[in-house]
Chains A and B, each alone.
Chain A
Amino acid sequence: METLDGTDWDVLIVGTGLQQSLLALALSRSGKKILHIDKNDYYGGAEAALSLQDAEVWASKIAECSSTSIFTNASISQYSQEESGSDVPKLSFSRAYSLALAPQLIYARSSLLPLLVSSKVYRQLEFLAVGSWWVYSPASGFDGLPSSPASADDISQSRGRLIKVPSGREDIFVDQSLDMKSKRALMKFLRFIAEYEEQSEVWESHRQTPFPSFLSEQFRVPAHFHGALMSLALSSSTSNHTTTEFALARIARHLRSIGMFGPGFGSVIPRWGGLSEIAQVGCRAGAVGGATYVLGKGLDGLQSLGAPQLVDGMTATNTPDGVAVRLKDGEAVTARWIAGSTDDLQPIASQESSGDGRTEQTATVPVICRSISVVASPLETLFPALAEGAPAPAGAVVVFASGSLSLSSDAESGAELPPVHVFVHSSDTGECPAGQSVLYTNVALGGEEGFALLDRAVQSLLHAVDIQPVPAVLWSLRYQQNYGSAPQFPQTCASPKTPSVKDPRVLEFGTASSDLAFDDSMLEEVKSVWQKIMGDEGGDFMVFEDREGTNADADDE
């Protein structure tokens, strides 16, 4: 294999996460000489999609702290399948799965989709519809009971229900569970939110009001319907910490996205493992444009050519033409621009404030616990047909509103637990074999408590889907994802350098978004990095002609 040592580049992109890969796409027609590296031996970074075997390697690397600082506490459980009959789907082989580490749904109104179209890479992607939204309703009487430690028995006795969130006015109209007064209240709210920006008098003074209070006070929406509206906001905070301003914008986005790409749905997911697929398509475009790709090669540090000290926060080794860095295995390369995520750039982050290691703010860093469960059932009841002429939905959303699940430990403390969101993906996504499905759970709560809540959500969901026998979990992975600039590190891992890059030629993407839906501000970051690199020569952002050989008749697709 050839060496990179001594090579010189216009742009060094570090990491193949979504943002870096979109940057590679944006630069793919620029004529710049680009080196794109990733310390992992797979594409996708924090947005990767993994087979079962990949996931095991990934989890063990996290345990050794050798991989990345954004993920911690990863562990895998595989459940014995001996007792299940031969007609029950069993865990298939490793590569039959493509599990997304950071699943997000993409609203039809997201600016990502027009960029994928204008850059022509949409032809290499397949998008599937996210269909129904469901809200978990605990069995009556369950809520008030002091709950003993969560067990499957416990859950089956207190089986809750999943209630489908009406997807429009017609649904509300025919909903038996609502009386006329409630229906009128809801209709009024839906009419309001359709054009809420113009009706500032209704909500401006309530920007910071908890959304449930706003619904009750301004619209008299009955309390039992708050959860349904709340679920559309995909808020990871508890109801009382979800502001009216936040919720209105999100619910409006949801409702306005419905119907854009077909009847009955408003958001999509890429096939074959979510955002990872978009990242790969970005890298492929980069490669077609001539970029050099090297996996298994991360940054090691700034290249020291004799004077490794910091001078005014800049290293003295920087050449006038670019930044000299050392890659893993010791190769030295120079690049006029270096772009990457905070995590990927850490080896070259300036070390000035890292003297005493750990920062003090660990308590305030946003933390998400996630789990991925492979379920031995297609869970078809969660994917009802959407509407005449609509595509078959491949995704569903199940929301456990804050307070609808409880843990024994919080019964006394009284602290309200955050909501749990579950994305259910059918085998149409290509993420699991036919006859199975994948549950991606997410809660803004760290540590064992977060994991316990996720387990409870998965069990409650499987008992509430009305499928007999209760579908079994075949395999699951759980992990904690740390957001923000100062990740939380377990005691066992070395404390990191404070990532604060000073060199203006090093362009840093913030930490990945913890949002449940794709966050368009990620694109703004990519665009601003792209603008810095291209200066005035950029032209339109991600607007490309088809390359030669891509037949025009693909257009009718």
Chain B
Amino acid sequence: MSRARLSPALVVGAAISVVFVASALLSLVWTPYDVAAFDIGHRLEGPTAAHWLGRDHFGRDVASMILLGAGNALAVSLVAVLLGAGLGVPLGLLAAARRGLIDELVMRASDVAFAFPALILAILLTAVLGPGAINAVVAIGIFNVPVFARLTRGAALSLWTRDYVLAARMTGKGAARISLEHILPGLASVLIVQATLQFSLGVIAEAGLSYVGLGAQPPAASWGKMLADAQTLVSVAPLQAIFPGLAIVVTVLGLNLLGDGLRDRFDPRLDEER
């Protein structure tokens, strides 16, 4: 039962995720070219030594746009996950600790939320609230809430039956304190895994919203927006669609691999043996 061994999925997933986060952070301070500078003369130019991934329909450097797109994707999905976990985890803990009416309310509300296709409703929400990165974050984040609430409640319920929780109850500790001291730390591993998976869903959702023009607005760069722009030109300049598409696929794949790898590593059966 060596826990030191890393699965290949975990290593590859972690590597891709690190590259993704690093490019996103890099784009905050530096990009190879200024993407505000249009150069219509060199529009749709293929990859060159100076512009590795070529130029887009305004003559902007595609590599710089991809980097900035990573930044946008990271920011939107990170905040969406934090929003979802920040509301969902306390709701789940509360439902598990109090049971009864509160439990019913939280669970039925999340049933209702699950009944709607998340992305479609996110489109509806952004259409009502108006397009933009902030509204996209809210729309994606809201659908993370029931996911985290349910997961937290289920796992917390099983922890509440443990003898050490009973021991804590006998010391007169309240439900809130026990939730924080005994339950939440026991949930950390499942929550981290779920956060990783929700993160990858967030990247897809952000790309989807931007693709239909409801996500990040110009001049902000987004992979979904880049795909949408490239679509009309796909017969003239197919590479325009390949690079942002590849960025989305590789990032999502990496995050999923990371999530699955972490899940295997935090396997509850191994957990008992620690």
**Is this pair of chains taken from one and the same complex?**
no
Chain B residues with CB under 8 Å of chain A are none
Chain A residues with CB under 8 Å of chain B are none
